[in-house]
Amino acid sequence: MSRTRHILLVDDHPIVHEGLRILLARHPDLSIVGACPTPESASAFLQTHMPDLIIMDISMNGTNGLVATRHLTAAFPAIPILIFTCHDEMISAPAAFSVGARGLVRKDQPEDEIVHAIRTVLNGQIYQSPQLEKRWRIQSCRLPHRLSPPIRASLSKKEQQILDLLAEGLTTARIALALDISVKTVETHRLNIRRKLDIDSQTDLVRWAIYRRTKEIDD
């Protein structure tokens, strides 16, 4: 029997707390061990508890969930964060991934899809909904699904490493830490990658890196 995976919910709506508790009660291996209305109370909770996953509302009363995600990811890098939102995925997802979230799921998704998102992130993978993947695929069609030999050859070894880490959802600061280089150096490499791949913005670079990774896994 698989062990129970513990989840911390950060959301300021009691009805969301109760709804997720009811939903996950039908899945014995998933358990909400804490429900915090603010990122500050979540930080206090994490001083004495180590959940397997944080589910974070993207916007709480007076608080930006993405800013909170950046701070919690830096303070507790071993705990993945799944963004829970009612906002447009196409707008929210690039920002969520750029601050270190491992996935984003809408609150109005069917129960099976929400549970799938939770399990995907718990298994160390990046989650994106089928709808979001389709929209990203349409926007990314002008770029190659995988790095062809000529394109890969145009990237330095460090640039290839950074592209792979972007696809894993790491922030610039975490990439710098992982590669033992400065944040400024990572930013310079990201700019060079964009120039070589003809990608207009940092957001599009993150979006494409994640999309390319999912295509290579699928293929």
Q: What residue ranges do the domains of the chain occupy? A: 5-136, 147-218
Structural domain 5-136, CATH architecture: 3-Layer(aba) Sandwich (3.40)
Q: Give me the CATH code for the 147-218 domain, please.
A: 1.10.10.10
pLDDT in tens, 97-134: 878 889 999 888 999 999 999 999 999 988 888 777 66
pTM for the complete prediction? Answer: 0.67
**Residues 69/83, Cβ–Cβ less than 8 Å:** yes
**Residues 65/100, Cβ–Cβ less than 8 Å:** no
Interatomic CA distance for residues 194 and 202, integer angstroms: 8
**Among 19-33, 142-156, 161-175, 189-203, which is the least confidently predicted range?**
142-156
pLDDT score for 218: 46
Joined together, the tokens standing for residue 40 give 């500050």
Cβ atoms < 10 Å from Cβ of 188? 12
Q: How far is CA 5 from the centre of its chain?
A: 18
Q: Is the pLDDT of residue 217 over 50?
A: no
pLDDT score for 7: 97
pLDDT in tens, 55-110: 999 878 777 888 899 899 989 989 999 999 887 776 677 778 878 889 999 888 99
Q: What is the mean pLDDT of residues 193-212?
A: 77
